[in-house]
């Protein structure tokens, strides 16, 4: 298509090259970025991203473990959403975006020249900050992905199972024909999670999934994440550090400062990062001294 952007990492744009030279490299403290144990689902290597001339990520490298919850934290505007949206190629939809570096999903280069972003998004699902159910019935919302992906099995069963896993079934089972928009915010968000699960993804990306919800709905979603992580790899962006501490196994702290935009400062097991941060800036952030 004429308007699709060339996002292949190999084709380093002229400006991109200049951009990295002008700015100092993102320099993480030695030992501040830990490689998780066990199976790795996603490997990010030297990822940089620009919105037009404006850089949003600089040389991010990290490995995200499979079947674990990984949290991305950091002050507003540091590039958490941007990084998350790189993982399922959601940024392809923004015409001005340019990417450099690589992302691998179980060893497959997600930005490889022959990779179809639609296939990427089927495997790497997403739940957005603002609940965004389609203006369709609850049933049609959950069945949407299955329908566009040519699901052959029993659709009723899939819808029920997905709603059960999203802990929403009991609340909606008698009203599957009702509009998804008639639900409360928390229910809508669980509907969006059900919708993502129904697609039978491998990885689920969640961008501040609880920011529009009350504490009880938030707890429900957090419980759900702990439940889902038995089968799925979950990556969550959150502003709530207690939430990161509660739900995640690994935490990444990102930061934009005067020198470097969108850098990964520290990454490791959640407990270590919160109790014995290796970088001064992480310590400042988690103790609430800035950001």
Partner 1 sequence: MQESLPITGASAQLRGAELERAMRKRWSKAPFERLIVLSLWLCGTVSMITTVLIVLTLAEETRAFFMEVPLRDFIFDTKWTPQFEPAHFGVWPLVFGTLNVLFWSMVLALPLGLAAAIYLSEYAHPNTRRILKPVLEALAGVPTVVYAFFALTVVTQDILRPLLGQDRVPIFNALSASIVMAVMILPTIASVSEDAMSNVPRELREGAYGLGATRLEVAFRVVFPAALGGIIAAVLLAVARVIGETMIVAVAAGSTPQITLNPLNSVQTMTGYMLAIGLGDSARGTVDYTSIFAVGSTLFIFTFCANVAANIIVKKFKEQYE
Ligand X SMILES: Nc1ncnc2c1ncn2[C@@H]1O[C@H](COP(=O)(O)OP(=O)(O)OP(=O)(O)O)[C@@H](O)[C@H]1O
Contacting residues toward Mg ion, per CB under 5 A: 81
Q: Identify which of residues 189 and 251 has a Cβ nearer to partner 1 in the complex.
A: 189
- Candidates 234, 233, 239; CA nearest to 253 is 239
Q: Identify which of residues 114 and 170 has a Cβ nearer to partner 1 in the complex.
A: 114
Task: Sketch the per residue contact string, 162 through 201, with partner 1: x for CB under 8 A, - otherwise.
Answer: -----------------x-x----------x--xx--x--
Residue 35, phi then psi, degrees to nearest 5: -95, 120
To the nearest whole angstrom, how small is the minimum distance from the Cβ of residue 71 to ligand X? 13
Among 32, 56, 73, 90, binds partner 1 (CB under 8 A): 90
Among 81, 88, 243, 270, binds partner 1 (CB under 8 A): 88
Among 15, 54, 106, 130, binds partner 1 (CB under 8 A): 130
Q: Identify which of residues 158 and 206 has a Cβ nearer to Mg ion in the complex.
A: 206
To the nearest whole angstrom, how small is the minimum distance from the Cβ of residue 39 to ligand X? 27
- Regarding 205 and contact with ligand X (CB under 6 A), the answer is no
To the nearest whole angstrom, how small is the minimum distance from the Cβ of residue 45 to ligand X? 19
- Regarding 288 and contact with partner 1 (CB under 8 A), the answer is no
To the nearest whole angstrom, how small is the minimum distance from the Cβ of residue 204 to partner 1? 10
Which partner in partner 1, ligand X, Mg ion, none is near 3 (CB below 5 to 8 A by kind)? Answer: partner 1
Which tokens hold the place of 287? 């103790």
- Regarding 255 and contact with ligand X (CB under 6 A), the answer is no
Task: Count Cβ atoms within 10 A of the Cβ of residue 234 and give its class: 0-12 exposed, 13-18 middle, 19 or more buried.
Answer: buried
Per DSSP bridges, beta strands 69-73 and 124-127 are unpaired
Among 81, 100, 162, 248, binds ligand X (CB under 6 A): 81
Which tokens hold the place of 116? 């179809």
Among 10, 17, 108, 118, binds partner 1 (CB under 8 A): 118
- The residues, ordered by sequence, that sit 6+ positions from 216 with a Cβ below 8 Å of its Cβ are 186
- Tell me how far apart the alpha carbons of residues 286 and 279 are, in angstroms, rounded to a whole number: 11
- Regarding 144 and contact with ligand X (CB under 6 A), the answer is no
Question: For the chain, what is the radius of gyration of the CA atoms?
Answer: 19
Among 9, 65, 79, 125, binds ligand X (CB under 6 A): 79
Residues near ligand X (CB under 6 A) are 51, 54, 56, 74, 76-82, 94, 239
Residues near partner 1 (CB under 8 A) are 1-3, 88, 90, 93, 95, 118-119, 121-122, 125-126, 128, 130, 132-136, 144-145, 147-149, 179, 181, 192, 195-196, 199
């Amino acid at each position: 298509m004429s308007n699709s952007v060339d996002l292949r990492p190999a084709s380093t744009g002229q400006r991109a090259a200049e951009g990295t030279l002008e700015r100092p490299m993102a320099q993480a403290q030695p030992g501040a970025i830990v490689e998780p144990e066990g199976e790795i689902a996603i490997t990010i290597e030297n990822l940089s991203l620009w919105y037009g001339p404006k850089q949003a990520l600089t040389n991010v490298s990290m490995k995200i473990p499979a079947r674990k919850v990984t949290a991305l934290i950091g002050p507003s505007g540091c590039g958490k959403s941007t990084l998350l949206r790189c993982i399922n190629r959601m940024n392809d939809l923004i015409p001005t975006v340019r990417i450099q570096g690589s992302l691998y999903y179980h060893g497959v280069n997600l930005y490889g020249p022959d990779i179809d972003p639609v296939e990427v998004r089927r495997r790497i699902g997403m739940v957005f900050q603002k609940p965004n159910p389609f203006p369709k019935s609850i049933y049609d919302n959950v069945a949407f992905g299955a329908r566009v992906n040519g699901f052959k099995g029993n659709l009723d069963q899939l819808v029920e199972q997905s709603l059960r896993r999203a802990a929403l079934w009991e609340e909606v089972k008698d009203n599957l024909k009702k509009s998804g928009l008639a639900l409360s915010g928390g229910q809508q968000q669980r509907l969006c999670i059900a919708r993502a699960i129904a697609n039978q993804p491998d990885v689920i990306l969640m961008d501040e999934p609880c920011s529009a919800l009350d504490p009880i709905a938030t707890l429900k979603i957090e419980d759900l994440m702990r439940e889902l992580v038995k089968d799925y790899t979950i990556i969550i962006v959150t502003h709530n550090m207690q939430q990161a501490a509660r739900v995640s196994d690994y935490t990444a702290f990102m930061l934009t400062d005067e020198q470097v935009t969108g850098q990964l400062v520290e990454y490791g097991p959640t407990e270590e990062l919160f109790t014995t941060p290796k970088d001064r800036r992480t310590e400042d952030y988690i103790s609430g001294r800035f950001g």
